[in-house]
Amino acid sequence: MSILDKLEKINKEGQKEIFDASSLEELESARVSFLGKKGKLTAVLKSLGDLSPNERPAVGKKANEVRQFIESVISKRRKELESEALGRKLEEEVVDITLPGKRSPVGKRHLITQIINEITDIFIGLGYRVAKGPEVETEYYNFDALNTPADHPARSLMDTLYTQKDGVLLRTHTSPVQVRVMEKTLPPVYIIAPGRAYRRDVPDPTHSPMFHQVEGLAVDKNITFGDLKGTLEVFAKQMFGADRKVRLRPHFFPFTEPSAEVDVSCIMCDGKGCRVCSGVGWLEILGAGMVDPNVLSGVGYDPEEVSGFAFGMGVERIAMLKYRVNDIRLFYENDLRFLEQF
């Protein structure tokens, strides 16, 4: 076989091998077997020196043409293989933008917070403002300033959580906020004070050592018991429904005189008597009364000039009545199956 025929054969073989290459790796090994240091074409080029001078130009020319041609075929095939590989990759990594995204769960307010906000909205609508006081309180604000004498049973170690510091305790009710506000404000005063209170109770379906109250206080000229009743009626109807009736039963609190416990007509049986209201037709929702003159004069108000009413309600109790929750502990267990219902 003449050397020119040999080159032509290499050319054909090369083209075939290159077109048959089905991956970039196969293409590279085809390239090496023709153009590499020990490749078939390289071997021919290396043998040019053995040819006679008159044969050399034609063979040299043909050898170069074959090399250029093989190189151009390789680069064409490489582009094809690269674009095939890219296509496969894109297909594998395809993102279906029509699939639903991952939803992060949206939180909501705890039922106790919702009820506090609801109570707050009602009283803001009546012209009240929101006040806050400390949960770690002194005996003075929690008891003395509220006309509660040193021998009152509520002050005992049995009922109250005292700190190690003398005369400092976890407030047993939100009523001390009344005093703190009056000390700093001249009448008229219209405030509510939502917050936590603490008592030395063992947890059971209706008791928790920590619970929430909303305190209310109105002091102005000519405030009467009728104003208290009217205010509580407006509150009860907005909170529990327009059909609710309100009743005040005489009671005793040291810081109000007269004092009352306040009931709403049962939200289940409408007063007829059922299991929820233990057959009496009424549900107790709060304590209230006319601010005792001793409390008013204690903060420097003149009981002859101004009068006032106060009330305090348990937030958990209201939530339990409104939603028929039968165990106060459910509010604090953070079980989403319970909390998500509200």
Structure tokens at 160: 């109250």
Q: Which of 185, 140, 191, 192 is nearest to 167 (CA)?
A: 140
- Binds ligand DAH by CB under 6 A, chosen from 175, 208, 231, 265: 175
Q: Is 63 left (phi over 0), alpha (psi -120 to 50) or beta?
A: alpha
- Pattern of binders to ligand DAH over 197-216, x per CB under 6 A? ------------------x-
- Residue 140's identity, in one-letter code, is Y
- Provide, rounded to whole angstroms, the least separation between the CB of residue 243 and ligand DAH: 26
Toward ligand DAH, which CB reaches closer, 282 or 311? 311
Does 288 participate in binding ligand DAH (rule CB under 6 A)? yes
Residue nearest to ligand DAH (CB): 312
Rounded distance between C-alpha atoms, residue 108 and residue 266, angstroms: 29
Does 142 participate in binding ligand DAH (rule CB under 6 A)? no
Could you give phi then psi for residue 279, rounded to 5 degrees? 80, -5
Structure tokens at 277: 């209201």
Does 311 participate in binding ligand DAH (rule CB under 6 A)? yes
Does 312 participate in binding ligand DAH (rule CB under 6 A)? yes
- Binds ligand DAH by CB under 6 A, chosen from 253, 282, 301, 331: 253
Cα 149-150-156 angle, rounded to 5 deg = 115
Q: Which of 190, 188, 179, 224 is nearest to 122 (CA)?
A: 190
Does 254 participate in binding ligand DAH (rule CB under 6 A)? no
Lookup result for tokens 């909205």 = 121
- Binds ligand DAH by CB under 6 A, chosen from 15, 256, 265, 307: 256
Helices and strands in the chain: count of H runs, count of E runs: 11, 9
- Provide, rounded to whole angstroms, the least separation between the CB of residue 125 and ligand DAH: 20
- Provide, rounded to whole angstroms, the least separation between the CB of residue 245 and ligand DAH: 20
The binding site for ligand DAH (CB under 6 A) comprises 173, 175, 215, 253, 256, 259, 287-289, 310-312
